[in-house]
Amino acid sequence: MTTAFSQLFRATALMATLAAPLATVPHSAAAQDGSPFQVVMRINDSVITRYEMDQRKLFLKLLRVPGDPEAEAMKGLTQDRLAAAQAKRFGLRLTQEQIDAGMEEFASRADLTAAEFVEALGEAGVSMETFRDFAGNGLLWRELVRGRYAGSFTISEAEIDRALVGGTVNTGMQLLLSELILPVEGDPEAQQALARQLRDEITTEDGFAAAARRYSASPSAGSGGRLDWTPTSELPPQIVELVLALGPGQVSEPVTLPNAVAVFQLRDVAEDASAAPEVQVEYAEFLMPNTPDVQAQAAALHTRVDGCKDLFAEARGLPESQLKVETRSVPELPADVALQLAQLDPGEYSTAITRGGARVFLMLCGRGPKVDGPIDREAIREQLISRRLTLLAEAYLEELRSEAIISTP
């Protein structure tokens, strides 16, 4: 199950196109405070219950969606109610076959069938109905947006040319960030709460640096969490999206990573004049016993190897799972791995990541542009259309929010 959810983390950039419950809960379902049916939000003539909030929070945690799970859950459920009301207004409904297909498509991102995915969710405490409604309302919202804006714009050949020349198909920017990484074992709720507290309290770069030195488990803690200029192409897309919404000096919402919760401070943004195609990296993960002297053992290992290829000799006779060498594009990387690799040069290593009872000796083998053959102009057109629709969809939702009556009990 864990593997499935970590695979799904790579698909969470698409989360904005998916939504949750189709059905609204009648006011009569509300019960006393503390009940699963306690009303936590009223939106026009529908409500959001505590049960739905708890289910959505758990679902987002399992998918490792960036941000504060409670805030993201409320934001998503509010969006869902507004979308469902708008669909009812236009008489838009989904067939059971469409919902089933949507569930299968979502589950396939983790190489699972819908039934297998539902079983995995159930083991973690998320109901089948939560997933069904999540996938179904995602399709409903997609239909609403496409129905409203289909044919309202076109992407010209000149726009595709500008995207290619200007590097805007891939993000051409550099970020100057500081990071604060809180290790997690089990439920991340306590570290989420600490991260939210730090985000609310920190108002300066010096304040963030002091907090990083005190709390962060990252190797950057000694320098106050400060990272060097990093191209956005080398960072997880989910984190890029989160920090680009900040102003200089502001601190991000907590980001849930595998075995960690992180917050970032944006110190500066600059255009990357050397913006290149999508970056791919080759890297090695060598698992070491997480003993008290593991840092010394890792340093000794690094003195014995000149690069990733030498790790195969170190792994001789060990289980095959002990060493993994892979080549992936940055968006395909788990977020915690991408963050560490972005700070390394070829041949350098990090031991910031733990996995189960092991410490990961993570080494960057090489980094370079991803080349997939001839330029596919239609694929670029689809990217630009998707971006335009995303912007229009956000404006559409803001319009619906402004017209709605939203209140808390």
Do the beta carbons of residue 341 and residue 283 sit within 8 Å? yes
Q: What is the pLDDT of residue 394?
A: 81
Do the beta carbons of residue 332 and residue 10 sit within 8 Å? yes
What's the rounded Cα separation, in Å, for the pair 167 and 186? 41
Task: Give the three-class secondary structure for 43.
Answer: strand
Q: Give pLDDT tens digits for 303-318.
A: 999 889 999 999 999 9
Q: Which among 63, 41, 17 has a CA at the least distance from the CA of 407?
A: 41
Q: Which among 24, 298, 230, 214 has a CA at the least distance from the CA of 137?
A: 24
Which parts of the chain sit beneath pLDDT 70? 1-34, 66-67, 161-172, 271-278, 369-376
Token pair, residue 76, equals 């998503």
Do the beta carbons of residue 99 and residue 152 sit within 8 Å? no
Do the beta carbons of residue 205 and residue 281 sit within 8 Å? no
Q: How many angstroms separate the Cα of 397 from the Cα of each of 81, 84, 153, 245, 357? A: 11, 12, 19, 18, 44
Greatest CA separation for the chain: 69
What's the rounded Cα separation, in Å, for the pair 192 and 187? 9
Count of CA atoms in the C-beta half-sphere (13 A) of 124: 26
| DSSP class of 24 | P
Q: What is the pLDDT of residue 369?
A: 65
Q: Which among 70, 74, 83 has a CA at the least distance from the CA of 18?
A: 83
Q: Which among 88, 100, 155, 147 has a CA at the least distance from the CA of 128?
A: 100
CB atoms within 10 A of CB 129: 14
What's the rounded Cα separation, in Å, for the pair 331 and 343? 16
Q: Which among 346, 315, 387 has a CA at the least distance from the CA of 149?
A: 387
Q: Give pLDDT tens digits for 221-268.
A: 999 999 998 888 788 877 887 887 788 889 998 888 878 889 999 998
For helices 114-124 and 96-108, what crossing angle results, to 10°?
Answer: 70
Q: What is the pLDDT of residue 283?
A: 95
